Chains A and B, each alone.
Chain A
Amino acid sequence: MAEAQAKAFVEFQRVQKSYDGEVLVVKDLNLSVARGEFLTMLGPSGSGKTTCLMMLAGFETATHGEILLDGKPINNIPPHKRGIGMVFQNYALFPHMTVGENLSFPLEVRKFNKIDREAKVKRALDMVEMGDFLSRRPSQLSGGQQQRIALARALVFEPELVLMDEPLGALDKQLREKMQFEITDLAHKLGITVVYVTHDQTEALTMSDRVAVFNDGVIQQIAAPDTLYESPDNSFVAQFIGENNTLEGMVKEIKNGVALVQLDSGDLINCKPINVTKPGERTRVSIRPERVEYNKDRLKKGVHTLKAEVLEFIYMGDIFRTRLRVAGNDEFIIKTRNAPDQIRLQPGTEIEIGWMPEDCRALDA
Chain B
Amino acid sequence: MTDATGPLLAVDGTPLKRKLAQSLFRSRARAFGLALPLLAFIIVVFVYPILDFLGRSVYDARFATLMPMTTEAMADWDGTSQPTEAMADALVLDLVVSKKEKTIGKVATRVNRELSGTRSLFTKTARSAAKFESPFMAALIEKDKDWADLETWQAMKTASRVFTPAYVAAALDRKMLADGSIVQQSEERRIHVKLFWRTMEISFLVTVFCLILGYPIAYLMASLPMRTSNLLLILVLLPFWTSLLVRTTAWIAMLQAQGVMNDLFVVFGLATEDDRFSLIYNKTGTLIAMTHILLPFMILPLFSVMKTISPTYVRAAKSMGATDWTSFWRVYFPQSVPGIGAGALLCFILALGYYITPALVGGQDGQMISNIIDFHMRKSLNWNLAAAMGLIMLVFVLFLFWLYDRIVGIDNMKLG
* B211 CB to nearest chain A CB (Å): 19
Q: Does B124 touch A at the CB level, under 8 Å?
A: no
Contact, CB under 8 Å: A85 / B323: no
Q: Does B1 touch A at the CB level, under 8 Å?
A: no
Q: Does A313 touch B at the CB level, under 8 Å?
A: no
User: What residue of chain B has the Cβ atom nearest to residue A96's Cβ?
Assistant: B334
Interface centre among B317, B321, B327, B335 (most CB of A within 10 A): B321
Contact, CB under 8 Å: B319 / A109: no
Q: How far apart sit A186 and B349, CA to CA, in the bound complex (Å)? A: 55
Residues from chain A with a CB closer than 8 A to the CB of B326 are 109
Interface centre among A57, A59, A83, A109 (most CB of B within 10 A): A109
Q: Does B375 touch A at the CB level, under 8 Å?
A: no
Bits for B311-351, please: 1 = Cβ < 8 Å to A, else 0: 01101111111111011001100110000000000000000
Q: Does A73 touch B at the CB level, under 8 Å?
A: no
Q: Does A220 touch B at the CB level, under 8 Å?
A: no
Q: Does B310 touch A at the CB level, under 8 Å?
A: yes
| A157-B320 contact, Cβ under 8 Å, with A79-B315, A92-B310 | yes
Residue in A83, A88, A92, A94 whose beta carbon sits within 8 Å of that of B321 in the complex: A83
Q: Does A106 touch B at the CB level, under 8 Å?
A: yes
Contact, CB under 8 Å: B323 / A92: no
Inter-chain residue pair count (beta carbon < 8 A): 65
| A80-B334 contact, Cβ under 8 Å, with A88-B312, A92-B312, A109-B326 | no
Contact, CB under 8 Å: A92 / B315: yes
Contact, CB under 8 Å: B335 / A92: no
B interface secondary structure, majority: helix
| A95-B335 contact, Cβ under 8 Å, with A80-B322, A80-B323, A109-B323 | yes
Interface centre among B316, B323, B335 (most CB of A within 10 A): B316
| A57-B319 contact, Cβ under 8 Å, with A90-B310, A90-B312, A92-B313 | yes
Interface size on A, residues (CB 8 A): 27
| A153-B320 contact, Cβ under 8 Å, with A95-B335, A96-B335, A105-B330 | yes
Contact, CB under 8 Å: B335 / A86: no
| A157-B315 contact, Cβ under 8 Å, with A94-B331, A109-B326 | no
User: What residue of chain A has the Cβ atom nearest to residue B333's Cβ?
Assistant: A96
Q: How far apart sit A220 and B320, CA to CA, in the bound complex (Å)? A: 32
Q: How far apart sit A84 and B312, CA to CA, in the bound complex (Å)? A: 15
How many residues of B sit at the interface, in one of the four size bands? 10 to 19
Q: Does A255 touch B at the CB level, under 8 Å?
A: no
Contact, CB under 8 Å: A79 / B335: no
Bits for B54-68, please: 1 = Cβ < 8 Å to A, else 0: 000000000000000
Contact, CB under 8 Å: A106 / B321: yes
| A110-B312 contact, Cβ under 8 Å, with A94-B331, A105-B330 | no
| A86-B319 contact, Cβ under 8 Å, with A92-B313, A94-B331, A109-B326 | yes
Contact, CB under 8 Å: A80 / B318: yes
Residues from chain B with a CB closer than 8 A to the CB of A109 are 320-323, 326
* A15 CB to nearest chain B CB (Å): 20
Residues from chain B with a CB closer than 8 A to the CB of A106 are 320-322
Q: How far apart sit A330 and B378, CA to CA, in the bound complex (Å)? A: 89
Contact, CB under 8 Å: A105 / B335: no
Q: How far apart sit A89 and B312, CA to CA, in the bound complex (Å)? A: 9
Contact, CB under 8 Å: A105 / B310: no
Residues from chain A with a CB closer than 8 A to the CB of B330 are 105
Contact, CB under 8 Å: A105 / B320: yes
Residue in A79, A94, A95 whose beta carbon sits within 8 Å of that of B318 in the complex: A79
Residue in B312, B317, B323, B324 whose beta carbon sits within 8 Å of that of A105 in the complex: B317
Bits for A306-332, please: 1 = Cβ < 8 Å to B, else 0: 000000000000000000000000000
Residues from chain B with a CB closer than 8 A to the CB of A80 are 318-324, 327
Contact, CB under 8 Å: B319 / A94: no
Residues from chain B with a CB closer than 8 A to the CB of A110 are 321
* A20 CB to nearest chain B CB (Å): 12
Residues from chain A with a CB closer than 8 A to the CB of B310 are 90, 92
* A53 CB to nearest chain B CB (Å): 11
Bits for A35-59, please: 1 = Cβ < 8 Å to B, else 0: 0000000000000000000000111
Residues from chain A with a CB closer than 8 A to the CB of B322 are 80, 105-106, 109
* A155 CB to nearest chain B CB (Å): 11
Q: How far apart sit A86 and B313, CA to CA, in the bound complex (Å)? A: 12
A95-114 residues at the B interface, CB under 8 angstroms: 95-96, 105-106, 109-110
Q: How far apart sit A106 and B316, CA to CA, in the bound complex (Å)? A: 10
Q: How far apart sit A121 and B313, CA to CA, in the bound complex (Å)? A: 20
Contact, CB under 8 Å: A86 / B316: yes
Bits for A222-261, please: 1 = Cβ < 8 Å to B, else 0: 0000000000000000000000000000000000000000
* A98 CB to nearest chain B CB (Å): 13
Residues from chain A with a CB closer than 8 A to the CB of B331 are 94
Q: How far apart sit A134 and B256, CA to CA, in the bound complex (Å)? A: 60
Q: How far apart sit A89 and B326, CA to CA, in the bound complex (Å)? A: 22
Residues from chain B with a CB closer than 8 A to the CB of A78 are 318
* B22 CB to nearest chain A CB (Å): 38
User: What residue of chain B has the Cβ atom nearest to residue A150's Cβ?
Assistant: B316
Contact, CB under 8 Å: B313 / A157: no
Contact, CB under 8 Å: B316 / A88: yes
Interface centre among A89, A95, A105 (most CB of B within 10 A): A105
Contact, CB under 8 Å: A94 / B313: yes
Contact, CB under 8 Å: A85 / B319: yes
Interface centre among B317, B318, B331, B334 (most CB of A within 10 A): B318
User: What residue of chain A has the Cβ atom nearest to residue B319's Cβ?
Assistant: A86
B194-241 residues at the A interface, CB under 8 angstroms: none
Contact, CB under 8 Å: B315 / A59: yes
Residues from chain B with a CB closer than 8 A to the CB of A89 are 312
A145-173 residues at the B interface, CB under 8 angstroms: 153-154, 157, 163
Residues from chain B with a CB closer than 8 A to the CB of A59 are 315, 318
Interface centre among B322, B323, B324 (most CB of A within 10 A): B322
> 7 A-B Cβ contacts within 8 A?
A57-B315, A57-B319, A79-B319, A88-B315, A92-B310, A94-B316, A105-B320
Beyond A59-B318, A94-B331, A96-B334, list 13 extra A-B contacts (CB 8 Å).
A57-B315, A57-B319, A59-B315, A78-B318, A79-B319, A80-B327, A81-B321, A88-B315, A89-B312, A90-B310, A92-B315, A109-B323, A110-B321
Q: Which 9 A-B pairs have the closest CB atoms?
A: A106-B320, A92-B316, A86-B319, A92-B312, A79-B318, A96-B334, A109-B322, A80-B318, A109-B321
